[in-house]
Structure 1
Amino acid sequence: MPASLVQAVHTEFQQRFGYEPLLVRAPGRVNLIGEHTDYNGGFVLPAAIDKEMAFAVGLNGGTNIHLVAHDLGETFELANAAEVSPSNTHWANYLLGVVAQYQQRGIAVPGFDCVFGGNVPIGAGMSSSAAVECGLAFALNQLLGTGIEKMELAHMAQKAEHTYAGVMCGIMDQFASLFGRDGHVVRLDCRSLEYAYFPFDTKACRIVLCNTGVKHSLASSEYNTRRQECERGVAVLQQHHPAVQSLRDATLAQLEAHRAEMGDVVFRRCAYVVQENGRVESACRHLEAGDMAAFGQDMYASHAGLRDDYEVSCAELDVLVEAARAVPGVFGSRMMGGGFGGCTINLVAPEHVDEFIASVTAAYQQQYGRVPETYQTTIVGGVEALPTTVALA
């Protein structure tokens, strides 16, 4: 994390509130493969990255909550921390939802001050919202000495998003922010919550994100629709196979057998999820074998499924993936995140990164008349407290 970002947040906190805060770093995430599987009890393969949020948080001895969005230059104030409810300030709800989760566990949250800011691009599919939720959840856990385990903090942050932001996200984003490990991706079983780390050397294979610069308004409503379509498929299967609790338990053969009952759309949604779970498992085997070309083929297949069967891609994402396919040294490319805009994630041989960026930029500019933002990312560790010396460096 740039020291300047921590310094800026720390300085604003001290200027506004006049005392020394706790400093926390909370990373965004990429997901190499395993999209829309998390809320279906499946597998995902995320990593925490060096696009992060910095927090300065302190207990103020009163009942007031003061929230400051450093990047936006906006503030939010609540007179009584005990009376938290969703507000009309969109960004504040991610934080207020976390406070509500503490209160639901019988933990009284006193007044506190919070300044936060970061370099996670908003709406690019790098989970800026999860970084915001997890950063505050971690900070309050430290300040209140509540000793809550990291997995519980991930659940609290997820529930905050459900209840205060209205997005029925799975657990992956919050998990990745809290459990990230430097130089590793982590495969999470979203049903059992078992996880395993796999080394990923970003010097040997670069992770490059290309941002379409669009966020179609369909994203959140269609996200919730996809969840419902998957649930409909499971309901059909359960009538014939009571053991099927989620799409994680389903097979393609079972889906084929009951395709007529489901209808074509629900069948394709479910088939995508079952196939994507298989791709996460094979991608991990390729990672262990050091076979990045095979890993990349799983990524291309993932994108095709998201485009054709799950139908959450968009023309801008498809143009970027096709442009990547034409460049030497690109192992794989696919859309990442909820869809309908945001970023593609690309695995590129280091010596081809410049050529890749130039080539994809030219193709996108020719099609849409604008230059896509690109980000080279490094895999970092999860949420942590920072020494004050970082802000003073």
Structure 2
Amino acid sequence: MKINSDSSLVLQKFFGNNQTLIQASSPGRMDVMGGIADYSGSMVLQMPIKEKAIVTIGIRNYNQLHIKSLDIQTNNEVYIDLDELPLEYEQARLYLQNIDGGDWASYIIGVYLVLSNEKKVNLGGLDILIDSNVPVGKGVSSSAAIEVATLKAMTELFSINLAATDLPKFAQKAENLVVGAPCGLMDQLASFFGENNKLLPILCQPDKIHNLVEIPENLYFVGIDSGVRHSVGGASYGEVRTAAFMGYSIIAQKSGIPKERIQELSNDEIPFNGFLSNISPSMFESNFARSLNSMYGKDFIHDFGGITDQLSTIKADVFYNINACTQHPIYENHRVTTFLELLKNLSEANYSAILPIMGELMYQSHESYNKCGLGNEMTDKIVSMARKKGYDSGIYGAKITGGGSGGTVCLMVYGEKGLNASKELFANYQKQTNQSSLVFFE
């Protein structure tokens, strides 16, 4: 949307008096079910949170990007000479690593480069102001919110039309190739397509958006921040992702694909269309589970060659938990689809029978994260506190969200009783841990 001339003092100080400004916003998201199974083709259920990123953009007279974030205390203003910025993604990533503020600015510069390159347009110099209250490192997609909002503002400013899911895909490409974080597409899709009081089902193969599902009356999903910073770029997330694709490679070869060809063939030519989540749990257990042994990267390379995921790197001296990381998306897809069907059939008349089953699916998902190595003692504590309160309190389920290894825990609660119990849990958690935590309500 356009910004009127009577905009805030902050905007007036940052932009020129006669600049035409475009502003766009996009929310963070909470992962209710699905999480790290997105890169393996699972169904996921996502919900926007009230916190959002607001990006305001105006055309700059110089061939330069001037970017400022109101949410960062130091190095919060960056100037990028576009004559010096590499157009190739890998070179741009290395360039941004060596400038002050390049770490956070790479999300904005990344989408600028992707939009320029993919649409073959010269965007020129821009003034870009970021104002986001989506907290960083809490597992609620602060980066996707900024990327999507920035792209929305840029495409409106330059009247660039994008088809269907192109905008989220461009945002993901920026994070993968310029920022260097191997995230799936789930976060960007959720930030772009999510709607309040609804769950967004996405079949991540890679971007099949299903109809939004109304959250039934009196059912709430509450996020409690563990106080432990989550990072999708962390080594554990990358290793879990790599291990899942190692497992897929073993399964594909057991299904008849020569290891020399595993990286050459398209998804149409390899088993299960390249997605672990297309394998049923029973088929996995009967045909493949016993073939998946944990091993060092160097042994996998020797025995099985490569993997199909271009964002994963097999490290020779890392020991990979292949079985658990392969099993997770297979079972998670089954859990998510079951959870979704139960949700669609939930009513006041049957909630006491259905909600415990849905909650159990959330608890199973949480434990599966732990088996993969993406758990954390603080998120475990919140889940344990939720389980201890039990159904009588109105709390029916809890699980770690997003990429794991800290971040936020999602609670499923029913009625005012459940909301009050979750608030009490949150207060007790803060008191016991001295964490400066946050709570995210639906």
Letter paired with 2:372: Y
Does the CA contact (< 8 Å) of 1:9 and 1:54 recur in 2?
no
- Residue matched to 1:95: 108
Residue 71 of structure 1: how far off its partner (Å): 1.5
C-alpha distance in structure 2 between counterparts of 1:174 and 1:49, whole Å: 14
Distance 1:217 1:114, change over 3 A: closer
Residue 281 of structure 1: how far off its partner (Å): 0.5
Mean Cα deviation higher: 16-25 or 132-141: 16-25
Number of aligned residues: 370
3-state SS of the aligned residue for 1:372?
coil
Deviations 1:328-366 (A, max 9, x none): 101211111111111101122241223322234325533
Q: TM-score, normalised on structure 2?
A: 0.78
Does the CA contact (< 8 Å) of 1:209 and 1:344 recur in 2?
yes
Matched, 1:104 2:122: no
Mean Cα deviation higher: 264-273 or 31-40: 264-273
Matched, 1:336 2:404: no
Does the CA contact (< 8 Å) of 1:38 and 1:172 recur in 2?
yes
- Residue matched to 1:29: 29
Does the CA contact (< 8 Å) of 1:134 and 1:157 recur in 2?
yes
C-alpha distance in structure 1 between counterparts of 2:160 and 2:394, whole Å: 48
Match of 1:351 among 371, 391, 416: 416
C-alpha distance in structure 2 between counterparts of 1:311 and 1:160, whole Å: 27
RMSD: 2.4
Distance 1:362 1:192, change over 3 A: closer
Does the CA contact (< 8 Å) of 2:64 and 2:125 recur in 1?
yes
C-alpha distance in structure 2 between counterparts of 1:136 and 1:269, whole Å: 34
Matched, 1:75 2:82: no
Match of 1:275 among 320, 331, 345: 331
Residue 254 of structure 1: how far off its partner (Å): 4.5
Matched, 1:300 2:314: no
Mean Cα deviation higher: 123-132 or 293-302: 293-302
Letter paired with 1:250: I
Residue 187 of structure 1: how far off its partner (Å): 0.8
- Residue matched to 1:389: none
Residue 10 of structure 1: how far off its partner (Å): 4.7
Using CA pairs below 8 Å that are at least 6 residues apart, which structure has the higher relative contact order? 1
Distance 1:233 1:281, change over 3 A: same
Does the CA contact (< 8 Å) of 2:228 and 2:406 recur in 1?
yes
C-alpha distance in structure 2 between counterparts of 1:375 and 1:128, whole Å: 13
3-state SS of the aligned residue for 1:313?
coil
Mean Cα deviation higher: 90-99 or 350-359: 350-359
C-alpha distance in structure 2 between counterparts of 1:269 and 1:43, whole Å: 17
- Residue matched to 2:280: 251
Does the CA contact (< 8 Å) of 1:150 and 1:178 recur in 2?
no
C-alpha distance in structure 2 between counterparts of 1:186 and 1:217, whole Å: 23
Mean Cα deviation higher: 71-80 or 46-55: 71-80
Letter paired with 1:46: Q
C-alpha distance in structure 2 between counterparts of 1:119 and 1:175, whole Å: 19
C-alpha distance in structure 2 between counterparts of 1:226 and 1:118, whole Å: 30
Deviations 1:8-66 (A, max 9, x none): 99532321222342111111101110121111111111122211011111112431111
Deviations 1:273-310 (A, max 9, x none): 10100011011111111144432221111112112x22
Residue 326 of structure 1: how far off its partner (Å): 2.3
Q: TM-score, normalised on structure 1?
A: 0.87
Does the CA contact (< 8 Å) of 2:138 and 2:230 recur in 1?
no
Match of 1:321 among 372, 383, 392: 383
3-state SS of the aligned residue for 1:159?
helix
Match of 2:166 among 132, 149, 152: 152
C-alpha distance in structure 1 between counterparts of 2:208 and 2:174, whole Å: 22
C-alpha distance in structure 2 between counterparts of 1:217 and 1:112, whole Å: 29
Does the CA contact (< 8 Å) of 2:15 and 2:58 recur in 1?
no
- Residue matched to 2:342: 286
Does the CA contact (< 8 Å) of 2:359 and 2:412 recur in 1?
yes
- Residue matched to 1:178: 192
Match of 1:12 among 10, 13, 20: 10
Q: Which runs of 5+ in 2 are unaligned?
A: 87-91, 256-269, 295-320, 347-353
3-state SS of the aligned residue for 1:185?
strand
Does the CA contact (< 8 Å) of 1:184 and 1:199 recur in 2?
yes
Residue 7 of structure 1: how far off its partner (Å): 12
Distance 1:8 1:191, change over 3 A: farther
- Residue matched to 2:437: 372
Residue 195 of structure 1: how far off its partner (Å): 1.8
3-state SS of the aligned residue for 1:234?
helix
- Residue matched to 1:200: 214
C-alpha distance in structure 2 between counterparts of 1:176 and 1:82, whole Å: 34
Distance 1:349 1:261, change over 3 A: closer
C-alpha distance in structure 2 between counterparts of 1:175 and 1:311, whole Å: 26
Residue 260 of structure 1: how far off its partner (Å): 4.3
C-alpha distance in structure 2 between counterparts of 1:69 and 1:33, whole Å: 31
Matched, 1:235 2:237: no
Does the CA contact (< 8 Å) of 2:395 and 2:411 recur in 1?
yes
C-alpha distance in structure 1 between counterparts of 2:232 and 2:187, whole Å: 20
3-state SS of the aligned residue for 1:37?
helix
Larger Rg: 2
Does the CA contact (< 8 Å) of 1:10 and 1:56 recur in 2?
no
Deviations 1:107-165 (A, max 9, x none): 21211111111211111111000011111111111111110125111111001001122
Does the CA contact (< 8 Å) of 1:81 and 1:110 recur in 2?
no
C-alpha distance in structure 2 between counterparts of 1:7 and 1:49, whole Å: 30
Q: Which runs of 5+ in 1 are unaligned?
A: 1-5, 378-393
Does the CA contact (< 8 Å) of 2:280 and 2:334 recur in 1?
no
Residue 232 of structure 1: how far off its partner (Å): 0.8
Residue 376 of structure 1: how far off its partner (Å): 1.8
Residue 184 of structure 1: how far off its partner (Å): 1.5
Does the CA contact (< 8 Å) of 1:14 and 1:20 recur in 2?
no
Residue 234 of structure 1: how far off its partner (Å): 0.7
Matched, 1:47 2:77: no
